[in-house]
Amino acid sequence: MEEKKPVYKRVLLKISGEALAGKKHFGLDFDVIRSVCAVIKKCVELGVEMGIVVGGGNFWRGAKDGEGKIERTRADHMGMMATVMNCLALADVLEQMDVPVRVQTALEIRAV
């Protein structure tokens, strides 16, 4: 069987937070996360360099969830923290699958 070669060397993948919640529509569905990570692993095994952008809408939606009761910048920071939670969940599952991972965020979170 002929080995498949990727069309692109580098791929940027955007994963919405809502997708990571699956049918629960909130929080994390690890069955969904494992299936997404399995596809990412296949791409990496083909030699594709993956950049992954993750949303946080399964936990918080910035200005919408703040409903004007929280200052806009603080609400946005809460959304970024929701994104970081999703990134850490994805990173953990990918590492369990022996896929090297590095989480990067604009928020400085030294302990993580």
Q: Which of helix, strand or coil describes residue 18?
A: helix
* Predicted local distance difference test score (pLDDT) of residue 62: 66
* Predicted local distance difference test score (pLDDT) of residue 69: 85
Percent of the chain predicted with pLDDT > 90: 70
What's the predicted TM-score (pTM) here? 0.89
* Predicted local distance difference test score (pLDDT) of residue 109: 87
* Predicted local distance difference test score (pLDDT) of residue 1: 66
Asked if residues 77 and 105 have their Cβ atoms less than 8 Å apart, the reply is no
DSSP structure string for 28-94: --HHHHHHHHHHHHHHHHTT-EEEEEE--TTT--HHHHHTTSS-HHHHHHHHHHHHHHHHHHHHHHH
pLDDT digits (tens, 9 = 90+) for 54-76: 999 999 876 677 777 888 888 88
Report the candidate in 111, 109, 103, 106 with the shortest Cα–Cα distance to residue 87.
Answer: 103
